[in-house]
């Protein structure tokens, strides 16, 4: 795992000292709120509905056990004993008090973490495939590139005041688990005809009020061109991007208004100017970073105990079938720990759970933890013979739910329970859907189904790319939920299609149940997933299930 | 032509803690919506908002929220303001817990 260099360390410490003094000056009245607001946002501190919220970056979703324990300590000391993992591989604390924030940031700096650039119109936390370095289908671990991008973008003088925020996601595998096509820049590792690794560079994706799938500006970018090329994209966007209207300021709108061809031409032209200015220092840096991400020393040991346990214990088997993924070392498995127990808040982990996950990572997981954009925690390297012990420990801590990829593994933004921007609640909708399908004992029969819920048009809950997407809105002073179907956040990314009028708060869970019953009725075989069935049968049967055959359902 | 003015309360978050508070008629900041001053006159509402904005060491982001008279004092109209009187719905945190203890 990457460790801070002296430069990183002194930069983060200097920023903590700076912000500590800014907080003092706000509290003694030397700074007004108008002056202080941009400063606190630069350091990840928001003022939400009921309290402040501190958003902490977890670069490319990677955490050490020591860092996880420190997050638990922060939760216990300055918050309410839990943290919320987000769809951008951040963790949010919902109840910090302003005078305590400097102490929290100091505690973070002690474990090489910070909240810098988790807000504002800058390059945000670079997200990555949460199975990076472990996945069987991977070409190369994308995290060294993500770390290089983090170093390059942190406090980059040219890109601190972009037209709008800027999100980069990277995956080292052809199967996209990082939703790269819904990012301002998506980087997907591919090989060229000569077998060399490089990146497919995608630009202009984004969700929000104008959802768009990114277009490919370069089919193959040699890895050594990564930084100058990304810089060229940012540079073109920084010049062209609109600053007159915040709703038209993201790069997806710039691409849309300028045209793909013209943007591509401008990016290539700028790249031609920038490339000669890079003389290889970035590659020297990258080589050093790569060493920090060397694969762990995998154990070579028998796996028969796992096979026997798998055959003997149906509870373990159910969990293994849903929560394990193929590791590139076939004696190993990737464990997804569901932070989505039925009825609980998606993505919330208590401090005790964080400590347990840290212990398990240390004991069984080569001291590696990941946070997924789907708001779960990953142990990327677990030897199969250790899986029964890991499972038993997880079950005891309420973390053994066998639902990864199923209907109750819901992404939900904080919604109007916390967020000042939200137009409706999302968490209780997620809780009720999960509870309902647990009562019905249907979720394993339903199979893979991704529900994603956002509490406003900004789409932090990625509803546009949910197989079933739910968007909470305020319709004339009442919460109203719009449904989209057929969204897909993988390498075959598609924006979901609206079904029609929305549903009231107490109608949305029954509406989802009708959709799922319709799917169970029309699928051709249990292997046909919800998404496949939707693609085959189209919108009509689902519309009929939602609104009645004649579409006479009262419009909400 | 003039539309009837919807009564308002002045609300904000406390600078230090972030708690949701309401301006009372005697210039206190109360955690209780029911203790807020219910403002029935538009000009007076603007004056009270100006006063709130001057309390820079106490509160952040004051604004006027629609309210109506209730049996025990002003009540919120919009669901967002109703949530702000309590706290989140997924945990017993925030004012619903603090005020009960």
**pLDDT tens track for A391-410:** 999 999 999 999 999 999 99
B25 to chain A, closest Cα gap in Å: 23
What distance in Å separates the CA atoms of residue A407 and residue A138, rounded to the nearest whole number?
A: 27
Q: Residue A160: its pLDDT value, please?
A: 93
Local structure of A133: helix, strand or coil: coil
User: A229 and A201 in contact (C-beta within 8 Å)?
Assistant: yes
The CATH code that applies to domain A415-547 is: 3.30.413.10
Most A CBs within 10 Å, among B12, B15, B31, to test the A interface:
B15
Among residues A140, A147, A130, the alpha carbon closest in space to that of A334 is found at A130
CA A436 distance to own-chain centroid: 25
A144 to chain B, closest Cα gap in Å: 38
Among the partner-chain residues A97, A431, A474, the one whose CB lies closest to the CB of B17 is A97
Q: Residue A279: its pLDDT value, please?
A: 96
User: A432 and A509 in contact (C-beta within 8 Å)?
Assistant: yes
* pLDDT band at residue B101 using 50, 70 and 90 as cut-offs: confident
B73 to chain A, closest Cα gap in Å: 21
Nearest CA in chain B to A45: B18
Residues of chain B that touch chain A, judged by Cβ-Cβ distance less than 8 Å: 13, 15-20, 56-57, 60-61, 77-80, 83-84, 87-91, 93-95
What distance in Å separates the CA atoms of residue B18 and residue B21, rounded to the nearest whole number?
A: 9
The backbone torsions φ and ψ at residue A235, rounded to the nearest 5 degrees and listed phi first, read -65, -45
Which residues in chain B have Cβ-Cβ distances shorter than 8 Å to A417? Answer: 83, 88-90
Interval A202-233: pLDDT, tens: 999 999 999 999 999 999 999 999 999 999 99
Q: How far is CA A465 from CA A180, A484, A486, A517, in A?
A: 12, 9, 8, 21
Which residue in this structure is represented by tokens 């149906």?
A: A314
- Residue extents of the structural domains in chain A: 6-109, 142-292, 304-396, 415-547
Kindly indicate whether the domain formed by A304-396 is annotated with CATH number 3.90.480.20: yes
User: A447 and A406 in contact (C-beta within 8 Å)?
Assistant: yes
- Who contacts A481 (Cβ-Cβ below 8 Å, separation ≥6)? A424, A429, A470, A471, A472, A473, A502, A503, A504, A505, A507, A508, A511
B90 to chain A, closest Cα gap in Å: 7
* pLDDT band at residue B2 using 50, 70 and 90 as cut-offs: low
Interval B20-54: pLDDT, tens: 999 999 999 999 999 999 999 999 999 999 999 99
Which residues in chain A have Cβ-Cβ distances shorter than 8 Å to B88? Answer: 50, 94, 417-418, 427
CB–CB of A49 and B20 under 8 A?
yes
- Who contacts A185 (Cβ-Cβ below 8 Å, separation ≥6)? A166, A167, A168, A169, A201, A202, A203, A214, A230, A233
Q: Where are the alpha helices (DSSP H) in A275-335?
A: 281-292, 304-312, 314-323
Please identify every stretch of chain A with a pLDDT value under 50, giving residue numbers as ranges: 551-556
Nearest CA in chain A to B59: A33
Report residue A92 as tokens: 């949010």
Domains A6-109 and A142-292 share a fold: no
Q: Which CATH class is domain A6-109?
A: alpha beta
Local structure of A42: helix, strand or coil: helix
User: A282 and A271 in contact (C-beta within 8 Å)?
Assistant: no
The DSSP symbol for A295 reads P
Q: Residue B3: its pLDDT value, please?
A: 78
Q: Is the ipTM of this complex over 0.85?
A: yes
Q: Residue A549: its pLDDT value, please?
A: 65
Q: Residue A551: its pLDDT value, please?
A: 47
User: A408 and A452 in contact (C-beta within 8 Å)?
Assistant: no
End-to-end CA distance of chain B: 49
| CATH H-level superfamily of A142-292 | Sulfite Reductase Hemoprotein, domain 1 (3.30.413.10)
CB–CB of B90 and A97 under 8 A?
no
């Amino acid at each position: 795992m990457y460790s801070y260099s002296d430069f990183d360390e002194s930069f983060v410490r200097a920023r903590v000292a700076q912000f500590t003094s800014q907080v003092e000056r706000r509290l003694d009245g030397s700074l007004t709120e108008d002056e202080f607001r941009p400063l606190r946002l630069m350091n990840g501190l928001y003022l939400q509905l009921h309290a402040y919220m501190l958003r902490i970056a977890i670069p490319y979703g990677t955490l050490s056990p020591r860092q996880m324990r420190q997050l638990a300590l922060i939760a216990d000391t300055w918050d309410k004993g839990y943290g919320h993992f987000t769809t951008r591989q951040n963790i949010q604390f919902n109840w910090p008090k302003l005078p305590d924030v400097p102490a929290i940031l100091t505690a973070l700096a002690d474990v090489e973490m910070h909240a810098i650039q988790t807000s504002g119109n800058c390059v945000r936390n670079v997200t990555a495939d949460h199975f990076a370095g472990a996945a069987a289908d991977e070409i190369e671990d994308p995290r060294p590139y993500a770390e290089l991008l983090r170093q390059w973008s942190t406090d980059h003088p040219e890109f601190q005041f972009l037209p709008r925020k800027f999100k980069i996601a990277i995956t080292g595998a052809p199967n996209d688990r990082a939703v790269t096509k819904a990012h301002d820049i998506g980087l997907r590792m591919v090989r060229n005809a000569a077998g060399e690794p490089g990146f497919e560079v995608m630009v202009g994706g984004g969700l929000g009020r104008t959802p768009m799938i990114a277009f490919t500006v370069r089919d193959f970018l040699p890895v050594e061109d990564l930084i100058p090329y990304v810089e060229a994209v940012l540079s073109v966007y920084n010049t062209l991007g609109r600053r007159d209207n915040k709703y038209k300021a993201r790069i997806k709108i710039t691409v849309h208004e300028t045209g793909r061809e013209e943007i591509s031409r401008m990016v290539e032209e700028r790249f031609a100017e920038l490339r000669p200015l890079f003389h290889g220092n970035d590659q020297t840096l990258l080589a050093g970073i790569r060493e920090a991400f060397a694969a762990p020393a995998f154990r070579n040991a028998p796996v028969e105990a796992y096979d026997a346990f798998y055959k003997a214990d149906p509870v373990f088997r159910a969990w293994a079938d849903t929560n394990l993924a193929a590791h590139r070392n076939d004696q190993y498995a990737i464990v997804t720990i569901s932070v989505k127990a039925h009825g609980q808040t998606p993505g919330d982990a208590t401090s005790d759970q964080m400590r347990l996950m840290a212990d398990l990572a240390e004991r069984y997981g080569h001291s590696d933890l990941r946070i997924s954009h789907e708001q779960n925690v990953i142990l990327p390297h677990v030897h199969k013979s250790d899986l029964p012990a890991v499972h038993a420990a997880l079950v005891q801590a309420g973390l053994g739910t066998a639902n990864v990829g199923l209907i109750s593994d819901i992404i939900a933004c904080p919604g109007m329970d916390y967020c000042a921007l939200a137009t409706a609640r999302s968490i209780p909708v997620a809780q009720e859907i999960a509870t309902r399908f647990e009562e019905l004992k249907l979720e394993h029969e339903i199979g893979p189904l991704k529900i994603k819920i956002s509490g406003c048009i900004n789409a932090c809950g990625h509803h546009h790319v949910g197989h079933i997407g739910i968007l909470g809105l305020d319709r004339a002073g009442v919460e109203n939920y719009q449904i989209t179907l057929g969204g897909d956040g993988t390498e075959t990314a598609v924006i979901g299609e609206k079904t029609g009028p929305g549903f009231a708060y107490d109608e949305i869970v029954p509406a989802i149940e009708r959709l799922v019953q319709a799917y169970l009725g029309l699928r051709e075989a249990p292997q046909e997933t919800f998404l496949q069935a939707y693609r085959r049968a189209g919108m009509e049967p689902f519309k009929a299930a939602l609104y009645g055959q004649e579409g006479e359902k009262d419009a909400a | 032509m003039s539309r009837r003015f919807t009564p308002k309360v002045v609300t904000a978050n406390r600078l230090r803690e972030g708690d949701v508070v309401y301006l009372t008629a005697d210039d206190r900041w109360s955690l209780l919506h029911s203790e807020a001053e219910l403002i029935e006159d538009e000009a007076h509402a603007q004056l009270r908002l100006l006063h709130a904005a001057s309390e820079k060491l106490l509160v952040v982001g004051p604004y006027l929220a629609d309210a109506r008279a209730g049996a025990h004092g002003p009540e919120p109209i919009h669901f967002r303001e109703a949530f702000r009187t309590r706290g989140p719905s997924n945990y017993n945190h925030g004012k619903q817990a603090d005020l009960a203890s």
